[in-house]
Structures are given as structure tokens and as C-alpha cells.
Amino acid sequence: MKKLLLLRHAQTLSTGGLPDIERKLTPKGKEDALALGRAMKNNGYQPDLILCSSAKRTKETLNHVMETLEKCAIKIIPSIYNGTRKDLFRLIQNVNDDVKTLMLIGHNPVIHTLIATLSLEKSTALMNRLMSGYPPGTISTLNCPCKKWADIQVKDNPLTNLMSPLDYNAPATPTRWT
């Protein structure tokens, strides 16, 4: 069995005249990424390999998440930035089989559609949450019942966890209550 972690980068600033690929994380995005690293550690989500888009915001998300996790192999892959769902699926299929837990950090809408495509379709609370959107800083965990990454199938991988910043970094008192 393999484990696949799919992460949408944390919250970003507007372009501010910069090319989209150069967008940076907001202070909240940085805080969320740090908190996500702690949540991943608490849940035992230690990747063996991380595939990350070459965009500034994904690399910043990666750096903040990794402040808590143990070191692992990391590959910055430019094609993730503009890649399609099929491109990312092929990347996953080509991962070395020694990798038990793979993490991919990318962008919406592709990350969201990839998770929906790979997830075992069952009417669960997690699937309902997945179908309601995928905000920045959200991570999904799929258990993949394959021995080789090349054998991963669509609609065959149970979605075992979905965490958004409201799950792992919610304010003690929501602002709407103050």
C-alpha cells in the first residue's frame, strides 16, 4: 500500500505586477504552512519524496512545512506549475517504487481535480468536503492499494483525510464572533 499526500500551496498575495509564478505567500499563508507541518507530524504524515511545483508560493509552502518534518528527498518539477491532471498522474506513476509516502505540492484547479479523479467514490463526509472546494493550504491523504506507483488507478484510492487551514490553524475565536 502506498500513501499519497496532495497539497495545494498556502494562501498567496495578489500578483502586485509580478508574474504569477513569482507570487509569494501572505503572512497567513506562512503561518498556515508552519501549522500544517506540525499537523502532518502529529498525524504521522512523513513523506519519503516530495514533488513540488517551481512556483515561488509552492516552494515557500514546502519550506515552511518542512520546518517540522524530517528531511526527505525533494524534487522541484517545473512542469507541475502548468501541468494538467493527466501530467501529474503520469508524474505519480513514474515515482520509484521504494517511495511509500509521496507528497505533491501544486496548484488549483489541477490538484483538486486530481484528488477527485483518484479518490474512491463513496458518499462520505470527506468526499462531500472535497466536492465543496479546495482552499489554499488544503491537504488530502489517499491510501493507494497498489504495490507500484505505475499501478495506481483512478477512482480506487480511499480518501482518508482532508485538512484545510480551518482544521489545523483555526483562530481560537473566529473573527465573526468578536
Q: Does the pLDDT of residue 110 top 80, yes or no?
A: yes
Sheet with 49-52, strands from edge to edge, namely: 73-76, 49-52, 101-106, 2-8, 139-144, 159-163
Say what the pLDDT of residue 125 is: 86
Which value, to the nearest 10 degrees, does the dihedral of the CA atoms of residues 153, 147, 103, 46 take? 150
Instruction: State the first-to-last Cα distance of the chain, in angstroms, to the nearest integer.
Output: 46
Query: How does pLDDT run across 41-79, given as a tens digit for each residue?
Result: 999 999 999 999 999 999 999 999 999 999 999 999 999
Q: Are 102 and 73 in contact (CB under 8 A)?
A: no
Query: How does pLDDT run across 143-163, given as a tens digit for each residue?
Result: 999 999 999 999 999 999 999
Pairing of β 139-144 and β 101-106: unpaired
Say what the pLDDT of residue 81 is: 97
Instruction: Tell me what the mean pLDDT of segment 15-31 comes to.
Output: 92
Per the prediction, the chain carries an average pLDDT of 93
Q: Which of 7-21, 30-44, 158-172 has the highest mean pLDDT?
A: 30-44
CATH class of 2-170: alpha beta
Would you kindly state where each structural domain of the chain is located, as residue ranges? 2-170
Q: How many beta carbons lie within 10 A of that of residue 77, not counting itself?
A: 18
Q: Are 54 and 81 in contact (CB under 8 A)?
A: yes
pLDDT band (50, 70, 90) for residue 16: confident
| Spatial CA neighbour of 88 closest among 77, 96, 99, 98 | 77
Say what the pLDDT of residue 29 is: 96
Q: Does the pLDDT of residue 173 top 70, yes or no?
A: no
Q: Does the pLDDT of residue 128 top 90, yes or no?
A: no
